[in-house]
A and B are shown apart, each in its own frame.
Chain A
Amino acid sequence: MASSPPSGSPSSKEKKYDRQLRLWGANGQNRLERAHIALFGATATGCEVLKNLILPSIGRFTVIDDKLVEQADLGVNFFLDQDSLGKPRAERAAALLGELNPDVAGGFRIDNLESILSNTPGLLDPRTTEFTHLLLMSPIPTPLLLQLPAEIPIFFVHSLGFITSLRIYAPTHTIIEIHPDSLVDLRLFNPWPELSEFALEKTSTLDVPESEGGMGDHEHGHIPYVLLLLKYLEDWKQSHQGHLPGSYSEKTLFKSMIMDRMRTGVPGGIEENYVEAVNAVMGDLRTAELSSGTKEVLNDPECQSITSQTDEFWIIARAVKDFAGSNNALLPLSGAMPDMKAESRGYVALQNLYRAKAYSDAAAVERIVRDYMNRVQHPKRNQIDRDAIQLFCRHSNFLRRLNYRSIADEFSNSNEQHKGVVLGALGDWDVESSLIHHYIALRAYQEFYTGHGRAPGDTSHESCEEDYQEIRRIICEYLKGIGYPESLPERCEKVAKEIVRAGGGELHVTASLAGGIVAQEVIKIITRQYVPINNTVIFDGIGSRTQTFEL
């Protein structure tokens, strides 16, 4: 039936990854395929995380582990089998995970973090390392965590019984595409001259009845609502000393003014474009405002002094800032416009106006970028990526910058922000349902492991009760250290008991859930799309709830 040769049909890669390309596009996929992920600890949780990253096709992975496969592993870890018994976990996990996707290169290393840091530090040295992201499965003694380089993003995961937590540390993370529900910015309060003229022209006979030579009913019912609003805003200004309807009561009046102009003697008795205009008044009529995320980016010190070392993100950000500075504080236009009642031709003409303006704004930003790059002799000045600048401009009011607190700061008892977060959560009105107690107990678990070299409740050693008392002591000391005035909260005791009962053991279902949560966050960090957590998320499988904290 299709007589012409297939055109535009997808490549085999596009077919295989179709369901995810619809989320993060070719840009995100390219970033994913450049990632090389190191997994420290071939635990059930670690393997589940890797599974969820290998399937969407990261570039490479390396499993690092120094244990041999035991019977107990087979009960929780899907990526170790009967034949693996007695063999190195790293080797077997890498083999079975590698089967998931022939597009991904996998490797292993029979080793552990401690020995790498002391014997082959080059593996983790930011100047020589091949790894782009590190997955660290608990238990790992705290001092080792503190030796990790600040340049590489790390994901540190606990998975104990029904509880799991993820702590992310990454260098400053910037995001352009957070995928908001809508990029629409109609500029109704700040139309540019071409838009005003266009609106004026298209609506000149709008309010003249057809019988008096005015606009016909058909055309009248198909004027895009954007033009109706622009026209009636002009009318409003004329009768209100040049002021725009800003307050709620003014907008209500403005709405009834529009309703009064609607023609009712038409088929159906109402005009849909007028209804759309009225419905848009409360939401679309507003003065342009910078989002808090964009303000943070534009005011970041990185934006202030551009050098030949400055990352392109910050140069474009600076250019956008300069652009807004000379454009009445307006950001580059996104160019997005919603669908609305209109005839095809009228709609497309209006859409072209928005698109042309977005294009020329981005071109202006590009000129500023070029200027900066030339001025500082930036090494990439001859490879300016126009698409990247357009993408940035389109999303310029949705930018994000995340600064992650270092793990050292979290673990030093003197960090005021950390203390503030924990005390705040403990004093919250709904503290009874807060997962802050889980954090405190997990932190005690971490300290116990660091001190004893084993998990609390691992009963081949001492009795559980002794371990519990030790955990309790650690918690009390921590709470005292951050200045918590009251006695040990009952919920902390409960969670601590649960953690001791787990004895460092994983449950497959929790491991699998953690594998999903962690992989989502890793993907968000790698693709630089969507917004990752900052900096800790905890899941409690008993209450089926999560909570995030900036600890």
Chain B
Amino acid sequence: MRTMTPKCKRHSSMILKSCKLHKFVLAYTRGANNSGAGGLGCEILKNLALSGFKDIHVIDMDTIDVSNLNRQFLFRASDVGKPKATVAASFVMSRVKDVTITPYYGAIQDKDQEYYMQFKLVICGLDSVEARRWINATLVDMVDIDNPESLKPLIDGGTEGFKGQSRVILPTLTSCYECSLDMLTPQTAVPLCTLATIPRQPAHCVEWASILEWPRVFEDKKLDNDDPEHVQWIYEQALHRAQEFNISGVTYSLTQGVIKNIIPAIASTNAIIAASCCNEALKIATGANPYLNNYMMYIGNEGVYTHTFEHEKKDDCPVCGNLATDFAVDPEWTLEEFIDRLKEQPEVQIKKPTLVTERRRLYYQGPPQLNEQTRPNLEKKMRDLVDNREEIAITDPGLPFSLRLNVIFS
């Protein structure tokens, strides 16, 4: 479903810190937790504050735009240009007693694992695939079997028009965001040559102007989709090209829609999805009822239809499918000896492995430049290359994806 394929740069996320639910009385009390500050974010913050969550952090890298006002109800026309996280946090705190909301105006990627470790759960109302993949991989990575607190449920929501979806991810236990990436409908791209020589649709003219013509004319200036002058230039070029080819339908609104990949958004759908996310957060935090296992799609275009199902965990998921396993290593082995031991492992078919750690490349089979550069490592001792408990990632033609090993020095 296309809803879920936004590629814009913006995102907001919400993090629920310690859910000190005061007075949590059965099912019908106020209770609440946290969230972010976009369309879903405003709703989530309000819902959490009115559900008893006391300590909420919100992260959002965006400032308020006039086109947010049709749904992001914590903002007014006079707030345009201010950071969303800050404005949303103070609005909710002024309306709801006894809740502390800490805003952070910036990207979720600015924060490290230690930061995320302080929360009970994380709710995301992000609008980019990239940001979703990042927080998902980060939370999966944080899971540590010796520390029950390290497993942070991730609740994710998204909308497009009258449709939306919410899901619950228990990192390493249930299907993660990466497991379901192939559910995204790929953006249908038009061949470059169509744009260059045989445009047929108004959108082809807009893409020609933004992808081919802009970089040709303004070699070193990046196109800023939020700069009205830039958009105007693209619009005029596209309009001119459309006239040249007798194509009708190029408008300013279409131009904006194509270059910014605008996804329609309304208050009511945000309300449904945000509430669904918070409902799950509430169920998880209180254990009051079984939580969603693990995916709900809401489709309101034609009547109301929901599809609630369990999305299956993928065994070969590159994020949660190949968790590191421990491997006993004699620190005195050379890298070559280590590789020989690997090849002897009967359960994996390794023949020509390439090995890296997060901080250095150990050995590359190819291409020649990297092979030459890393070949001297084969003679080096393991203790000089890796630390105890450091992770080695291995790819090999015999492996469908990759293998991760935790080095345990014996």
Contacts and interface: CB of A to CB of B under 8 A. Distances in A.
Asked whether any CB of A lies within 8 Å of a CB of B in the complex, the reply is yes
Interface of A: 1-2, 4, 6-10, 12, 14-23, 48, 51-52, 55-57, 74-76, 78, 81-82, 99-102, 161-162, 178-179, 222, 339-340, 342-345, 347-348, 498, 501-503, 505-510, 512-513, 515-517, 519-521, 523-524, 530-534, 537, 541-546, 548
A22 B235 CA distance: 18
Residue with the highest number of chain B CB atoms closer than 10 Å, among A74, A498, A512: A512
B50 interface: yes
B233 interface: yes
A509 B278 contact: yes
Interface stretch (B27-35, B142-150, B331-339): B27-35
Contacts of B43: 512
Contacts of B236: 2, 4, 7
B304 A513 contact: no
Interface of B: 26-30, 32, 43, 46-47, 50-51, 66-67, 69-71, 73, 76-77, 95-97, 161-162, 166, 198-201, 228-229, 232-233, 235-236, 239, 245-247, 251-253, 256-257, 262-276, 278-280, 282, 289-290, 292, 296, 298, 300-306, 308
A541 B264 contact: no
Residue with the highest number of chain B CB atoms closer than 10 Å, among A51, A78, A533: A78
Contact of B306 (A7, A20, A546): A546
A25 B76 CA distance: 23
Contacts of B272: 513, 516-517, 520
B50 A546 contact: no
A497 to B, nearest CB: 11
A8 B264 contact: no
Nearest to B161: A23
A176 B273 CA distance: 28
A542 B262 contact: no
A508 B50 contact: yes
A81 B50 CA distance: 12
Nearest to B282: A509
Given A342-B200, A508-B47, A531 B257 contact: no
A401 to B, nearest CB: 14
A519 to B, nearest CB: 4
A9 B269 contact: no
A56 B71 CA distance: 7
A19 B71 contact: yes
B94 to A, nearest CB: 8
A101 B66 CA distance: 12
A533 B271 contact: no
B95 A161 contact: no
A8 B251 contact: yes
A19 B265 contact: yes
Contacts of B292: 544
6 contacts: A20-B266, A348-B245, A507-B27, A507-B29, A517-B300, A544-B296
A544 B29 CA distance: 19
A56 B70 contact: yes
A19 B266 contact: yes
Contact of A512 (B27, B201, B274, B305): B274
A544 B396 CA distance: 43
A509 B262 contact: no
Contact of B271 (A100, A506, A512): A512
Nearest to A350: B200
B79 to A, nearest CB: 12
A186 B76 CA distance: 48
Given A502-B27, A509-B278, A515-B271, 19 more contacts: A2-B229, A16-B70, A19-B263, A22-B257, A23-B162, A55-B69, A55-B71, A56-B266, A76-B50, A78-B46, A339-B200, A509-B47, A509-B51, A516-B275, A520-B266, A530-B302, A533-B303, A534-B303, A544-B280
Residue with the highest number of chain A CB atoms closer than 10 Å, among B43, B77, B247, B300: B300
Nearest to B304: A537
Contacts of A178: 301-302
A59 B277 CA distance: 31
A271 to B, nearest CB: 14
B322 to A, nearest CB: 30
A501 B303 contact: no
Nearest to A519: B268
B317 to A, nearest CB: 24
A348 B27 contact: no
Nearest to B32: A508
B303 A179 contact: no
A8 B50 contact: no
B358 to A, nearest CB: 38
Nearest to A532: B303
A99 B77 CA distance: 11
Nearest to A502: B28
B67 A19 contact: yes
B276 A544 contact: yes
A76 B28 CA distance: 10
A203 B71 CA distance: 53
A6 B76 CA distance: 27
A348 B246 contact: yes
Contacts of A74: 97
Contact of B235 (A8, A20, A81, A515): A8
B27 A162 contact: yes
